[in-house]
Amino acid sequence: MREKHVTILFLILAAVLISADSFSQNSFQQADLLKQYIMNPSLVEENQEPAGVPLLLFDSVENALSGDRNRSPRFFSLDGIWNFRWDKNPFDVPSGFFRPDYDSSDWDPITVPGTWQMQGFGYSLYRNIPLEFSPYDPPNVPLDFNPAGSYIRTFELPANWDEKNVFLHFEGVKTAFWVWLNGEYVGFNKGAMTSAVFNITDYLQPGGNHIAVKVLRWADSTYLENQDMWKFHGIYRSVYLYATPDIHVRDFFVRTQFDDSFTNAELLIEAEVMNYGENVSGRFHLKGELYDPDGNLIRDFSRQLRVPERKEAVVVPFSESVSTPLQWSAEKPNLYTLLLHLTDNQGETLEVLHQKVGFRQIDIVDGVLKVNGVPVKIKGVNRHEHSPYKGRTMDMALVEQELQLMKKLNINAIRTAHYPHSPEFYRLADRYGFYIVDEVNVECHQAENSLPHIPGWEVPFLDRMEKLVERDKNHPSVIIWSTGNECGLAPVHQDMADLARRIDPTRLIMHQSNHPNGDAPFADILGTRYPHPSLLAAIGDTTRRPVIMGEYSHAMGNAMGHFDEYWDVINRNPRLQGGYIWDWMDQGVLFDLMEVRDRSGFNQQAVMMGRPDILETERGAAVGFSGLDDFIELTPSESLDIRGPFTVEMWIYPRGFLNHNNLFGRGLAIDLAQVSEREIEFTLRTGQTHRVRAELPINWNYNWHHLAAVYDGNEMRILINGIPSAMVSANGVIERVRNPVTFGKNHMINNEAWEGYTSNSVMTDIRLYSTALAADELGIHVMNPDKPEYLLLWLTFDDIAKTGTFYSYGSTPLSGSGSMNGIIAYNREPEPEAWQVKRSHAPVYYEAVDLSAGLIRVHNRHHFTNLNEFESVWMLKENGLLIEEGVLELNLPPLAEKQVALQFGSPITDDHYYDLFISTRLKEDQLWAEAGYEIAFGEFHLNSVKILRPDFWDKYSSLSGDVYLDQDEEMITVRGETFEYKFSLTDGTIQSLISHETVLIERGSVVNASRVPIMNEVSSWGVAEFDLIYEWGIDNLHQELKSFDLYRMNEDAIRLTFEVNAYSGEVRDMLFENTFVYTIFGNGEIRMEHSVIPRLEYLPGWPPSHIPWLQKLGLQFTLGGDIRHLEWFGRGPFETYPDRKTGAKTGVYSVDIDDISIPYIIPQDFDNRTDVRWANVMTETGVGLAFYSDHLMNVAIDPYENLGAAWYPYQLRRSSNPVLSIDHKVTGVGGTPVTAREEYRTYPSKYHYRLHMIPFHKFE
């Protein structure tokens, strides 16, 4: 008689789960029963097998050697198409859906593995610290809205499995799930990121079988899965069956231990053999076979088994000596193959298990982490499992592509932030060679210092730790266990560490709390988080433990400044052993671009964000928000920059109050929201904050109402159903903000740190006016807008079209976007920061000793690799062009250094610019790159030449001709034979530069001290430097000519002097005093001297000591419409910044301006080029303008006309007249929360420099 593990509790609960009644119609008793499963932390699973390694089971040695489970007749995949139904809560699920006779033919198809959100069901949203529901009340979760996904499929059991024990293996399901087979309950699980295995032998029937799974979005376990990531749900990893004999190797643990010289090793195996049979007898043997990386059998061993009692296990130990095994390390990931071969007393094969083995040993000696006796540096990244197309479901081909790219970027370590990754990921990490910090799925960031102390939560903490260690214990890549991220420090963490050490005493322990900072009394590793480089140095000087930063160099947007400084510190101190960059990849998610037609004359771009419903209602088409980050966002435009009187009105159908029903907003400047069950609030900021609240009608919920908010410059009013409900005096200009207009969400209120829900209302007939309407002019009284000339927006939701796709980051960037922290983009293409990582992580370092004598010191920073395994070459360049090269023969052991002498055949003179480059490349193809791939380079400037101009400059500067001068009240015009230059007598700018009848510059010498802010400059974590820049209007300078002077030097030279003030558009006393001196020659050459004195100390309340640094200081030039190309001699070819530039080589580069595009999902400053000696812009016909300076320049092109206003790339508009920035100083990008270091800041000091310009005709 088969044995069933069905609890009485579940038999009762099943009736609740299958009820077709809505939650409101269910009894409290039934809800309480459901709570026993999803609001009971001590219940983490039901009817599961004990934790263990994912088994690769085969029927023969031949098949087992392949390691490919698809070649195993003992493996049966349930991946593929299932029938699926999404419901808003478990009580809406059809009754008896799990029974085989239930007809699910009208359900939707869904792919398993896959998240339901990325297949069109439910709602995707991103949160950083808070949960997506509220209130925060562990272990309680919502019941009336707690989406449920129901899955059904059938399968045919393989014919030869009738006498086998069969197990059902879920690699990952989020969050809580129940499973039925052939209508009978099998089991339950809440551990979303590790395996759940069920013995289904007694539930199967020959031939066809029916499986059903119920998944709930939220359970008490959600409080432990509070990671800063997109929230996805469903059966997101593979599901499969495997078959075993009655006597079966259920689990095994493989370890290796070296002798003191790390020459010979012991292979230690503990195999747990389980008896699943009724009357099993006889002799059984367990045999081990070890194959070297080339596939040669080098060891075999066996042991006779004592048959355990039924449902009991016996542990079979092996200890085998292996002579001089090839060691496993991240540099040399040598993998052996172990087969465990179970046979009966006739020698017949019962099963064969496959496992890769790496001979490696982890120790801490004198406070230094060592791998195989060698101190290593951890050059790591934090990695989320994320796909922009599949959410949490990973395509292993793309994962392998990620690992290949990591190797190319000299990354040797990964932290599985912040949960165990897919089992296949670890197999790839073993193969490619990475040092893994394997992190338990425990993060309770929102209440990190309280939740782990609550009694009753110990069980899930320990369960998750046990399942992590048991699952991943055989992977050589895993060197450290992490007891969690941002979940405080409590006694349960000590228990988790003790548990991990009992199971596996061979690995180290790390703890990643915020308080204390990345540390715990039980931790072997000090995992400091986000230190300044100077603080890191101090920590290294005072600690006795290895320091491996759990998170550092936060790469949000355009970031990764001062990365060299981190690694300079790390390389000087043996106990500073590296860290894990936050983080690896931007978490962009692909959405359809759904545009709502605007019926106003402005044709505003209104986009539906998230997945709101379009409903047919008694008032026509309407948009319905879910409360889970659905909203309407307007692309910023000049017309929507609301600073004065306005009216917003809409028809609204409220559907109950959640916790903040935002209706309309524009950041903190304007907000209209239901703030309680009985009140609505209208807020404006005009230098001070004005608020007015109105009481809501009794019948507010589930009825249509007309709502309007009006500001007329003197008064704010709320009108409900056409009746004034509240008003307050208010005046002034509405504050300038960068936020877009939104409906259903306010970006500055409902940001990534927002706790709980957003709007869940239904809206239609939304109108926005640039005037204050009277009550009788509102839409409740008139069908069509009464004042169309003031109508800015009119949305009726009866015309919606998909116009493309876009990648969402899921939160407002003006407070920081934790989903956009990668050094590679959502499409796995490197972002510019990635090349700095590659350089700073480089395993070879070249140091100048005496460049005049060609002396270089080479440091081999490999841990296990001699440089003779690579090809090293040197290259000598003159003015950026290669003139000589040679091979550098290096036989240098790991962690050694030596001095080498280079002999140049070419003389080094001071009339040219000479650079020496040394490059180390792969000599042979590797798993991750082809031969010739460069892993490291060094660059040295050999002579004293600092200023350089294009080779053709002398050709044009030697020309001469007369210069003519015209002047009127508005303009000074300077002409020559082939050029005409105009200068404004209003603002002192260049109004046009024309050469060879081609407009090169449409406007120039525009003083600029700001940039479109990078994410670090607006993030609320750290220093939001741009807040003051914006408040003071330094981003909005207006130029005014104070005086000018003309001086004719001779017939072919004129000097113009302009005294110009560039003042803030917000605070006029904030200004920059400028002197421009232009000397213009008959050949068209301009020699400009620019002196600037920032006068920023006069802002009331901000003494000089509090003046922050500027973002940059330089000039902008609007290019003529025919300019198509940029060429420069400087760092390249990708963007660089003063504190992130050494990963780029100095050289001559060119780019088509049409090919310049932003590499970040969130629009921000980009495309800067540092250390530029000269640059030129040019048309297709070869007419251009060249520049050089007496200082190294920063050069950038902005190809967009609205970079500063856009929040998504789809909103960007290419400009017909791109803007060229030539900056004397640019502030570095810094990091979050560690801002740009002092040496990379542009302080508001006096500056003086020269800029030379000359027109040319390349084909003349």
- Residue 348: Cβ-neighbour burial (10 angstroms; 0-12, 13-18, 19+): exposed
What is the SS3 string spanning 926-941? CCCCCCCCEEEEEEEE
The alpha helices in 877-1017, defined as continuous H runs, are 953-957
Active-site annotation holder among 132, 466, 551, 595: 551
Tokens of 1230: 């810094």
Do β-strands 742-743 and 723-729 pair in parallel, antiparallel, or remain unpaired?
unpaired
1171-1185 CB burial, b ≥16 within 10 A, e <16: bbbbbbbbbeeebbb
45 catalytic, yes or no?
Answer: no
DSSP 3-state assignment of 364? strand
Question: Distance between CA 83 and CA 110 in Å, rounded?
Answer: 6
Q: Cα 155 vs. chain centroid, distance in angstroms?
A: 39
Phi-psi region of 1190 (alpha: psi -120 to 50; beta: other; left: phi over 0): alpha
Question: Per the structure block, which two tokens stand in for 574?
Answer: 């043996």
From the candidates 289, 402, 466, 486, give the one annotated as an active-site residue.
486
Rounded distance between C-alpha atoms, residue 25 and residue 92, angstroms? 11
**What DSSP assignment string belongs to 526-579?**
B--BS--HHHHHHHHHH-SS-EEEEEESB--SS--TTHHHHHHHHHH-TTEEEE
DSSP string, 1098-1166: TSTT--GGG---BSEEEEEEEEPTTEEEEEEEEEESS--BTTB-TTSEEEEEEEEGGG----SSS----
Reported as type and span, the H/E element at residue 517 is: none
Length of the chain equals 1260
Q: Secondary structure of the chain: what % helix, strand, coil (to 5)? A: 15, 40, 45
246 with 185: CB under 8 angstroms? no
Angle, CA 430 vertex, CA 426 and CA 431 arms, to 5°: 115
- DSSP assignment of 128-141: SSS-SSSS--TT--
Distance CA 141, CA 145 (A): 9
* Cβ within 8 Å of residue 420, ≥6 positions away: 193, 194, 438, 439, 440, 441, 468, 471, 472
The tokens for 405 are: 């790219």
Query: Which residue in this structure is represented by tokens 């005294």?
Result: 1059
Q: How far is CA 505 from CA 498, 548, 1194, in A?
A: 10, 20, 54
* Exposure on the CB side of residue 1139, measured as CA atoms within 13 A: 24
Sign, Cα dihedral of 700, 702, 706, 709: positive
Which residue in this structure is represented by tokens 């009119």?
Answer: 794
∠ CA 1012-1014-1020, nearest 5°, is 120
First-to-last alpha carbon distance for the chain, in angstroms, is: 97
DSSP H helical segments within 713-828, as ranges? none
Cα angle value 473/478/479 (rounded, 5°): 110
**Cα separation, 752 vs 744, whole angstroms:** 15
Cβ-contact 230, 126 below 8 angstroms: yes
Rounded Cα distance between 242 and 204, Å, is 13
DSSP state of 333: B
DSSP one-letter code for 34: H
Catalytic residues: 486, 551
